[in-house]
């Protein structure tokens, strides 16, 4: 992350003063999100029957449309450089009565998984907001009304998962949460028509595994993909209205050595699988100079 931020700062400092321009923008969008699939598992190993692969959508009440929002602020600098900050909250809280036993994490005695038995009324929380800094460079700067930006993304994500029994008992609460930095590649493209319509696409994504990503000696694989199509219309005075269709998803599967016994909400077991795929539809307002 430090290396990426240093590159962005250096690129900005090297811009010729004679060509310097600064065009800020701010945008907000609101809509609905549908969770297409979402599975989670935590335990000592992916196999062996000691933990449950839990389906949050079909077993955990995430089958409904949910509110969605997203916010961004940034600028186009010296015509070709686009830098922006994105915040996307995601908090899903549901209630469900388990129809079968669900085993996750480790019980209070450390002798096996925490078991929420069939018939237990539950409150489930899945929180996965992210903060993202993106940079792209326009490789079509000499083409009128068209942009094709290639660059990088640094994403900071807060992950928090909670299983809570509403009836009490020995196994009442499972919590797993962590904070992580995710680098990715970015593509931003747009084409503006003379009558005020602009079509654009925005993609951020990466696939990584320890085999080639960072030389780690523990097994894991993960990916993120955030891809959107947008149509916007200029309504004057720097404002435009837009509509967006977006796919957002991510996968993680494997073990991690980055557990910390001093942090009580870090999972007791190193193996975790957390895969989610979503589709959003939203409308928004953008102001740009």
Distance between CA 127 and CA 174 in Å, rounded? Answer: 14
Given a contact cutoff of 8 angstroms between Cβ atoms, the answer to whether 40 and 62 are in contact is: no
pLDDT at 17: 44
Q: What would the two tokens of residue 14 be?
A: 């090297």
Specify which residues 177 forms β-bridges with: 160
> What is the domain partition of the chain in residue ranges?
2-288
Distance between CA 201 and CA 80 in Å, rounded? Answer: 17
In Å, what is the CA distance from 161 to each residue of 109, 123, 127, 131, 180?
21, 11, 6, 18, 14
Name the nearest CA neighbour of 271 among 44, 109, 79: 44
Grouped pLDDT means (10 residues each) for the chain, 289 residues:
53 52 95 96 69 93 95 94 96 95 81 86 94 96 92 91 85 83 94 96 89 55 94 96 97 67 57 92 96
Checking 208-217 for CB contacts under 8 A at 24+ apart, the result is 210/254, 216/257
pLDDT at 209: 78
- Give the SS3 label for residue 7: helix
CATH number, span 2-288: 2.40.128.90
Q: How far is CA 238 from the centre of its chain?
A: 29
pLDDT at 18: 43
CA dihedral (253, 257, 262, 268) positive or negative: positive
Given a contact cutoff of 8 angstroms between Cβ atoms, the answer to whether 26 and 284 are in contact is: no
**Can you give the pTM of this predicted structure?**
0.84
């Amino acid at each position: 992350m430090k290396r990426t931020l240093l590159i962005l700062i250096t690129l900005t400092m090297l811009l010729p003063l004679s060509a310097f321009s600064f065009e800020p923008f701010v945008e907000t969008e609101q809509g609905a999100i549908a969770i297409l699939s979402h599975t989670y598992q935590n335990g000592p190993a992916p196999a062996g029957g000691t933990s449950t692969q839990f389906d949050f959508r079909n077993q955990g009440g995430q089958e409904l449309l949910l509110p969605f929002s997203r916010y961004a602020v940034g600028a186009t600098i010296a015509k070709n450089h686009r830098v922006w900050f994105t915040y996307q909250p995601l908090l899903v809280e549901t209630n469900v009565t388990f129809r079968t036993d669900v085993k996750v994490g480790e019980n209070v005695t450390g002798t096996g998984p925490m078991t929420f038995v069939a018939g237990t009324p539950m409150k489930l929380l899945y929180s996965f907001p992210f903060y993202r800094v993106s940079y792209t460079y326009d490789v079509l700067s000499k083409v009128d009304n068209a942009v094709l930006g290639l660059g990088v993304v640094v994403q900071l994500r807060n992950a928090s998962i909670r299983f809570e029994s509403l009836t009490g008992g020995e196994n009442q609460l499972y919590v797993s949460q962590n904070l992580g930095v995710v680098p990715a590649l970015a593509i931003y493209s747009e084409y503006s028509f003379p009558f005020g319509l602009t079509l654009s696409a925005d993609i951020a994504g990466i696939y990584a595994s320890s085999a080639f990503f960072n030389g780690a000696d523990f097994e894991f694989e993960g990916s993120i993909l955030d891809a959107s199509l947008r149509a916007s219309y200029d309504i004057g005075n720097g404002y435009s209205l837009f509509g967006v269709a977006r796919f957002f998803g991510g996968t993680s599967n494997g073990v991690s050595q980055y557990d910390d016994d001093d942090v009580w909400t870090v999972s007791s077991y190193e193996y975790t699988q957390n895969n989610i795929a979503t589709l959003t539809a939203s409308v928004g307002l953008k102001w740009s100079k």
